[in-house]
Amino acid sequence: MPRYRPIHASNFERSGVWSRLDEEQREAIQVVAQVLPFRSNEYVVEQLIDWRRVPDDPMFQLTFGQPGMLDEADYLQMRDLWRNRAEAAVVRRAADAIRRRLNPQPGGQVESNVPRLEGRSLPGLQHKYRQTVLFFPAKGQTCHAYCTYCFRWAQFVDLPDMRFAAPQSDDLVAYLEAHPEVTDVLITGGDPLIMSSAVLRRYLEPLLSDRLAHVRNIRLGTKSLAFWPQRFVSDGDADDLLRLCDEVVARGRHLAVMAHYSHPLELSTPVARRAVQRLRQSGAEVRLQAPVVRHVNDDSAVWAELWSTAVALGIVPYYLFVERDTGPKRYFEMPLARAFEICRHARRQVSGLARSARGPVMSAHPGKVRILGIEEVAGERVFVLDFLQARDDAWVGRPFFARFDADATWFDELQPAFGEERFFFQAGPGAGLRIRALPPILATSI
Ligand SMILES: *Cc1c(COP(=O)(O)O)cnc(C)c1O
Ligand code: SF4
């Protein structure tokens, strides 16, 4: 039975990866790992990475640090500390200074989304969109491997005040009892499926009580299906996990596994396919989402193959995200216009069943903003956008326009089109006048 074996900074030199890399690549991985968390594992290394294609191989790029992930000056500084075998405290101080410049908490997650109950704020919960509460169980805050583009990276290095996690589910249950409008709980991390099935059961069972009948959908956000599919097939408690899924479904809840797949390679091995099959047999639905990033999946053919392979396995394509404004963003980012073209061309290549993927989507402070198109309207080139989710749900589904910007890579770089001062959802005199002035039929059918 294959055993899970992580590869990280402290065992890297003894791993099977070391002998496959040249001197320069080894050093780069160690230098970057001083700042950004690094973890891969033997399954990824032996079965997903094609070593003849390294360093360009997408799975190598996905889990191993690359020199371009730090600004040149930062890289050189960390390289000197590495070469001079600087003291741990010195390395740490330099690394923390760089980390703080990498926007460790994007989207105002901590300030704006942590809910309160009877005057107390509840760590480990986020409630941003009316129907869905996010829950971060303390024991699920790591992953079987770390994506180099991860927007949760700050949780994996202990920057003080950057971690948020709940020790148990009491607060979650109390909060949900007080909030009958919540229909979905999304258990996330890190990766909740890093937890043993017994621990996961302690978190899930309280959600199945009759008092929480309004919580109809339980979602598990995970990358285990890609990074360690043995979790569902051959791990000691794989069968317990599937039984637990089965019970959730038998109690009348929808169990949605929100699977993070970045590349069709992750669906190519027999164990990866078996994992999906077993999960679906338990009654869970599997949905697929990932960001589009350079060096990994910035190609419409890759997305078309990912979506159509997924559909053939019974997985529903869900979101295609734009990489968030955090961590080594510069290494992975691309203009929004390019992300849109990749998504559009991928969609053209697949049947309607695989066109259920919505995107490209930016999870930004006001909500989840989708790029619907790039068009010329009233003589101006514009991005046509809408909210799929919003802090105020009245904003959802109202197309709005931003001035086209060929270089913009994130929502906050966009300006309103047509010379307006604000977008309709931004407070201020005259906000939203243009859209509100349209007859309702037009406002919804553009
Ligand atoms: C994406 C997201 C959700 C879930 O949104 P759905 O559109 O229902 O999948 C919930 N909360 C937050 C904070 C999110 O970013
Ligand atoms: S699986 Fe998700 S949380 Fe874990 S490293 Fe990757 S992006 Fe981050």
* Tens digit of each residue's pLDDT (9 = 90 or more) over 137-180: 988 889 999 999 887 787 777 654 445 677 788 999 999 999 99
> Given ligand 1 and candidates 105, 129, 356, which is best to mutate, with the most ligand atoms within 8 Å of its CB?
129
Q: Kindly report, residue by residue over 13-66, the tens digit of the pLDDT.
A: 999 999 999 999 999 999 999 999 899 999 999 999 999 999 999 999 999 999
Domain assignment of residue 441, given as a range: 364-446
Q: Please check whether residue 443 lies inside any domain of the structure.
A: yes
Is 389 touching ligand 1 by the criterion CB < 6 Å? yes
Question: Does residue 286 surpass a pLDDT of 60?
Answer: yes
> Given ligand 1 and candidates 368, 387, 411, which is best to mutate, with the most ligand atoms within 8 Å of its CB?
368
Domain end call among 51, 79, 100: 100
Q: pLDDT at position 325, please?
A: 79
Q: pLDDT at position 167, please?
A: 74
Q: Mean pLDDT score of the chain, rounded to an integer?
A: 91
Q: pLDDT at position 102, please?
A: 87
Q: Please check whether residue 54 lies inside any domain of the structure.
A: yes
Q: Kindly report, residue by residue over 224-282, the tens digit of the pLDDT.
A: 999 999 999 999 999 999 999 999 999 999 999 999 999 999 999 999 999 999 999 99
Distance 34 CA to ligand 2 centre (A): 18
DSSP string, 305-348: HHHHHHHHTTPEEEEEEEPPSSSSHHHH---HHHHHHHHHHHHH
Closest ligand 2 atom to Cα of 190:
3
Tokens of 147: 């994506």
Smallest CA-to-CA distance from 163 within 148, 153, 149 is with: 153
Q: pLDDT at position 439, please?
A: 34
Kindly indicate the confidence band of residue 70, based on its pLDDT and cuts at 50, 70 and 90.
very high
Q: Please check whether residue 246 lies inside any domain of the structure.
A: no
Closest ligand 1 atom to Cα of 113:
13
Q: pLDDT at position 72, please?
A: 94
**CA 163, CA 167: separation in Å to the nearest integer?**
12
Distance 355 CA to ligand 1 centre (A): 19
Say how many Å lie between the first and final Cα of the chain, rounded.
56
Domain end call among 100, 128, 158: 100
More confident residue, 85 or 433: 85
Tell me the percentage of the chain whose pLDDT exceeds 70.
93
Is 260 touching ligand 2 by the criterion CB < 6 Å? yes
Judged by average pLDDT, the poorest of 178-182, 200-204, 437-441 is: 437-441
Q: pLDDT at position 417, please?
A: 97
The ligand minimizing its distance to the Cα of 109 is: 1
Domain count along the chain: 2
DSSP string, 171-210: HHHHHHHT-TT--EEEE-SS-GGGS-HHHHHHHHGGGGSG
User: pTM for this structure?
Assistant: 0.92
Domain end call among 49, 77, 100: 100
Q: Please check whether residue 1 lies inside any domain of the structure.
A: no
Closest ligand 2 atom to Cα of 223:
1
Closest ligand 2 atom to Cα of 227:
1
Burial class (CB in 10 A: 0-12, 13-18, 19+), 165: middle
Is 192 touching ligand 2 by the criterion CB < 6 Å? no
Tell me the percentage of the chain whose pLDDT exceeds 90.
82
The ligand minimizing its distance to the Cα of 217 is: 1
The ligand minimizing its distance to the Cα of 192 is: 2
Q: pLDDT at position 48, please?
A: 98
Is 368 touching ligand 1 by the criterion CB < 6 Å? yes
Q: Please check whether residue 153 lies inside any domain of the structure.
A: no
Smallest CA-to-CA distance from 307 within 360, 270, 350, 343 is with: 350
Question: Does residue 90 surpass a pLDDT of 90?
Answer: yes
Kindly indicate the confidence band of residue 108, based on its pLDDT and cuts at 50, 70 and 90.
low
Question: Contact 38/146 with Cβ under 8 angstroms?
Answer: yes
Give per-residue burial for 27-54: e unless 16+ CB within 10 Å, then b. ebbbbbbbbbbbbbbbbbbebbbeeeeb
Q: Kindly report, residue by residue over 393-432, the tens digit of the pLDDT.
A: 999 999 999 999 999 999 999 999 999 999 999 986 544 4
Is 132 touching ligand 1 by the criterion CB < 6 Å? yes
DSSP string, 377-429: ETTEEEEEEEEEEESSGGGBT--EEEE--TT--SGGG--BSTT-SS-TTS-ST
Closest ligand 1 atom to Cα of 134:
11
Q: Please check whether residue 429 lies inside any domain of the structure.
A: yes
Is 223 touching ligand 2 by the criterion CB < 6 Å? yes
Q: Please check whether residue 73 lies inside any domain of the structure.
A: yes
Closest ligand 1 atom to Cα of 131:
8
Kindly indicate the confidence band of residue 111, based on its pLDDT and cuts at 50, 70 and 90.
low
Q: Please check whether residue 185 lies inside any domain of the structure.
A: no
